[in-house]
Structure 1
Amino acid sequence: MGEVMDLDDAYDNVSYIPDAAGYEPRWSAAADAFRKRMAVPGRARLGVMYGHGTRQAMDLFLPDAPPAGLTVFVHGGYWRRFDRALFSHFASGVLAHGQAVMMPSYDLVPRVRISDIARQVAQAITVAAHEIPGPLRLVGHSAGGHLVARMLAPGMLERDVRQRLVHVMPISPVSDLRPLVETRMNVDFQLDKAEAKAESPIYQPVPEMPVTVWVGSEERPAFLDQAQWLAEVWDCGHVVEPGQHHFDVIDSLLDPESVMVRTLLEF
């Protein structure tokens, strides 16, 4: 039992972040204000369905000129929580550079499996890519980092969509799901070791397009390890941002001139 408790603690972010409970209401208020601002000039297309379930919907935010490309942001929450509406404002940094930004929601575990979520995200990206031309970039946080990394597995994206990918940025990703099998969260994940390995990006073929793995220096050691494992296996970019923990590491997406945004857009 000791090992199980250790892994539960290792993957527990909330208990180690000051005022962790305050993030969700602050994000919600900022996201709501952002959507309202974007709706006034008609630059927000909200609740666009990409599938048949009520959560299989996406929001599309448009720049004030024809888009220079499409950036997709996939939210986290351990595949169990949250939706796109909590993170709308994080589109602002890349939006200022003329990017259209798509944010999908997806069904959550245990209603569906993690593999089902990955397929839903791939469908959302495909629908958005058919709407918005130009280079395609993927960025995701935590479980969303896992999901954007999964998009690089063979067969996940249609060939014409995959060929448009120019950069993928998993932020604080879970790249090896096997440790999660031994956590209490697996009541929801329902992973066995074989499925956990099959859904782990570190076991995918090394992608050909640029990837930058990003993580905060103040994150839990397990997440520092998860980021390092992916960067090493894929031999790709690896940034450890000083002073950032698992929740505020995505704050850099708010700033058009941040190193994170500039790195995402440099390819």
Structure 2
Amino acid sequence: MLYRGFSQSELEQEYSPSSMVGGDLTPYLNSYAALSAQHRAQMTVQENLAYGGSPTQVLDFFPAKGAGAPLHVFIHGGYWQALSQRESAMMAPALIEAEQSFATLNYTLAPNARIGDMVEECSNALLWLASQAETLGFDPTRITLSGHSAGAHLASMVMARSANDLARAGLRVRDVILISGVYDLEPISLTPVNDPLQLTPVEVNDLSPIRHLPRPGPRYHVTVAERDTPEFIRQSRDYAELLRKAGHAVSFDLKKGMQHFDIIMHSGTFLAVSR
């Protein structure tokens, strides 16, 4: 038995979100890039702000119209091996309209970094933002952290590993929005997705959010597309239930009519959070 009774081909299909949209991601990736470029051209943005010493350790910041606004931080997906903050600003106008500042993070991709390194980079980006709150003009006590797909995994692990460090730095994460994420890395390690990741059994254990729940505090909003694969939906349900049993304030939302790649193109995915 490979994993939960799946054959190899079945498991690969379950962990291939593109299998639900005909296998061709190009239209969605093109839309991400085009919309992000359009918003950058039309909006105020500070690009490639360095939070670390590597060229990949940068973020882009879209300020709210007024000082002291909440901040929404987004971690992009791409199965830990694709995309960047450059294609991850589709939601900027809706968040600015909702009077939130917006930061979209970049991090080093596989095979040039291991997943644990990516978690640390995302944590460091948030710590850097905490140190720059006054300069950038946002309220560090009103933070929303969101992530899509692999980004949801990274956001989960940031909260599991670094919540205390963030709090000591003065950053209060009030809401965590996890969108079509992966919370158990075991099946990933058994598919070709693992080829550039090269996950070890120790990493599968240490970096799976289902095995390392954060302390209660923020409100968790676990959401997944109705047309995600059954395994993506199951993982999201299971993680939401584990959070609930651990005492977290948590909601679960199955987004009707959406699939893995268009769920982040709907502003409601990011705005269904009470301030």
What TM-score comes out, normalization by structure 2 length?
0.88
Equivalences, count: 257
Q: Structure 1 residue 206: deviation in Å?
A: 4.5
Q: How does 1:1-267 map to 2 (within 5 A)?
A: 3-18=7-22, 20-38=25-43, 43-132=44-133, 133-134=139-140, 135-155=142-162, 157-161=165-169, 164-208=172-216, 209-235=218-244, 236-253=250-267, 258=268, 260-264=269-273, 266-267=274-275
8 Å CA contact 1:66–1:98 kept in 2: the answer is: no
Alpha-carbon distance between aligned partners in 2 of 1:86 and 1:155, rounded to the nearest angstrom: 26
Seen in structure 2, the aligned counterparts of structure 1 residues 202 and 33 have a Cα distance that, compared at 3 Å, is same
Bigger CA drift: 110-119 or 190-199?
Answer: 190-199
Q: Structure 1 residue 49: deviation in Å?
A: 0.5
Q: Structure 1 residue 147: deviation in Å?
A: 0.8
Alpha-carbon distance between aligned partners in 1 of 2:182 and 2:159, rounded to the nearest angstrom: 15
Alpha-carbon distance between aligned partners in 2 of 1:161 and 1:200, rounded to the nearest angstrom: 25
Seen in structure 2, the aligned counterparts of structure 1 residues 114 and 223 have a Cα distance that, compared at 3 Å, is same
What percent of counterpart residues are identical?
A: 27
Which runs of no fewer than 5 residues in structure 2 stay unpaired? 134-138, 245-249
Seen in structure 2, the aligned counterparts of structure 1 residues 34 and 155 have a Cα distance that, compared at 3 Å, is closer
Q: Structure 1 residue 21: deviation in Å?
A: 1.8
Structural RMSD (CA): 1.8
Seen in structure 2, the aligned counterparts of structure 1 residues 192 and 3 have a Cα distance that, compared at 3 Å, is farther
Alpha-carbon distance between aligned partners in 1 of 2:189 and 2:153, rounded to the nearest angstrom: 16
- Per-residue CA distance 1:119-159 (angstroms, 9 max, x = gap): 00011111112223331110100000111111211446433
Alpha-carbon distance between aligned partners in 2 of 1:261 and 1:184, rounded to the nearest angstrom: 31
